[in-house]
Structure 1
């Protein structure tokens, strides 16, 4: 049972990581390798060499030729890129390769030059803006300028990315509210994305206008402003399980030298988000019905070791004995939880069994009777 639970939590964490870094997915990695190999094969008759401050394409294969071109597109001027391309007949693959390099380097001038020379935009192209290798204080402004540039050449915020889904869930996972605001004000649909249907016996991912991927992503990341922005833009909580993602997000360790138990984690930013989700209609006892989300929010909080979230959920009526395919949250807590987690669970169990509500005043555990009538 524990192995299944750990795999499930790891799967949820992996999805959160994939949203923030699409190049980390095996599918994307394979596509990157295949694309690079195809472009290399199409350009084996020429390679790139430096001559002083300039570079030219010279006859003969050279293994690092594409990588040199990649670096030039990231950091050099449009004139330098033009000088290289003027020595050959560039293919669409080479132009796209250069464009994506310029995007990862936040090189607006080179990206504009290549787009004006008909560099194609592929499903993976816009994602490169989120994978920049050139962080600086003006990064958000440069990212927005690059996305604006792509919109002038046919791309939209709802265009599919390399996984078939639009970029909004990835943007929602960046904690960059200025960029998220740009996406939403330029037509990104908060309910458009991948929706997982069915169970482990027949789960399928479908592109749908009833997706909660962006809201789930922002909830897991812990940015309440982003969650509120998505709600303001029309995000529907009923399409997914954002409370489960917020409850199960792995806490962030504090720097070395911190305390013990729940003190090992930063103040939990997800509890205000969970409160907002509750106000918007989330159910603390909703059981997930998909392969990835197959249990109750409190189970995910226990598995994440998030004592504060477990306490919060119990205070709001979460049932620690609700059973799913891996048993109940209370069983999991007593098998793999900390002493603090077990103490919190004991109060929750007693409260429900004796008809009261769990109450936690500071570190004091008590049972608060339900009001009569």
Structure 2
């Protein structure tokens, strides 16, 4: 415990990706997630409900607005964790992206081009055409396997009616020599009410738990990070019971999960606001192997909500809420209706 306290105290003071303690130094990398709020291109896709996000559609989604949205998203992603690591996230999961094209446009923005991000994305069956994806710095992470796992949900009142929603993206790869598994999620929304739609998110959590269990069966010491917009808070049934994420890291046993976001939520913090209340739907949850104190490989240090002032609405009724990019029928010049979240992983250098 004394060693961990010394390391963590020093990490708090760093401004670059390494920190020295005597003859020892430590690498730090950011793993993040961001719901980018409807990052659509301007073209009409005939098989999805994207008509509003076209120049002729209700949102008057022009090339100029699309370019401004891309620039804003790139600025945020480049900034996340940089105060500590001196660079953009090694890995960042994203939600509400329309297709691979918008991701290619995003990573080729001037703010992100220096980081040479790779893209892992599959088209999901979501009716709106929105997907999840993982962006990774090619110099820091090498994917070894990835797949999209479909979430098969059927309507409670019509068991023959499938509810089409986002797949769960599973990516395995080497982060600076460490095998890391990342699952990117965007669970079903609360449309129709939280209680009425709860079963959908419980089933999403059960699928997520099944994926994690499979990874643990192959390797009991697997380093697993599941992240995403869960459309539930850390204390809801889907996260606490179906997924089994625990708030107290000291009570996390073998093959169990730790949710550092629960303590933040209980302090009143959140990533999105609604009717004068905060929710913390955006979460990053970790397997027990990332909590060990052997820093010869990457371990969890701490989690944060990235809520810098420029990401908050500066005025009006919703002052202090996430500064969303689209409201009242027009582009606001803002960013997203969600704040990003992140964790830092640290590793002792030889």
| TM-score, L = length of structure 2 | 0.29
Q: Higher RCO, 1 or 2 (CA under 8 Å, sep at least 6)?
A: 2
* Structure ID, larger Rg: 1
The structure where strand makes up a greater share of residues is 2
Structure (1 or 2) with the greater helix fraction: 1
